[in-house]
Structure 1
Amino acid sequence: MEIISVIGMLLTLAGLFVPSLISNHSSRKAEFRKQSAPLLEKLLSEIDAIEGGSSPFRLISDADFYQLLPYAPGRRRKALNKAYASYLDAHSIAITKHWHDENPSDGAIFFPASFILTNPNEVLEKMQFLKTELSR
């Protein structure tokens, strides 16, 4: 009889606290998604450009990234920092060539600021970590 009343009391206490914990978690997650959406959009734009054969400029600045960190849960910050470091590394290992060097023309058409990546797979692989973290 005593065990049943203790179990009932524990269930009552759990019923008081569990919903608020779940609500807090989901609201933090929603806020993180809201704040990470612009960064994810920029990253996807870069990925699309690389897959399309061109070399994009780095669109996510350090300031953009550091504005997102306060919205990330403590454990996720470490993973986000690693993913951002991988993103920066992706831009540093990118080997670019001028489009005209790869596709010479007879001189009628010339794109002075058109660059392509010679190692797009390596660059995309390193960018995937940040895409994964921002998509969570």
Structure 2
Amino acid sequence: MKIVFASTPSQEEKICELVGYIYSNIFPLYFTDEEINRFEKLKILHTSKQHFEEFSTLKDAFQVMASIQTLISILESHQLDDQYEAIFNKNVANLHDFGLFFPFEFEQFAEAKSMKNTVLSIYTKADNQLLI
């Protein structure tokens, strides 16, 4: 007999938070607003009830969270060294195994980082809020 622990609602929330973080903090570093809008339409990293059923155990949910967090760490680094490429590809493959669509290659981010100018994006979170 094998005991399997189910994923928790807080893990599902955390996965959704991490996906939101990628859209608001990572993608604007590399892509234009038009491209990010297209990513939303293509449902890149889109999670549905079916996805949460597929990674329904604690282990599966932790693997998804760890893969997304690893991608965030790599993509937030100041310089995208080739030493990160294998780790990047492994984590993209993990996400793919769980049915999450992330169709990027390491080279795309390396090229985009070198070409992207720092501009204001509608996807980034505001640095401050207006208090009334």
Structure in which a larger fraction of residues adopt strand? 1
Same fold (TM over 0.5): no
Report TM bin, short chain. Answer: 0.3 to 0.5
Which structure has more relative contact order (CA 8 Å, sep 6+)? It is: 2
TM-score by length of 2: 0.35
Q: Which TM-score applies when normalising by structure 1?
A: 0.35
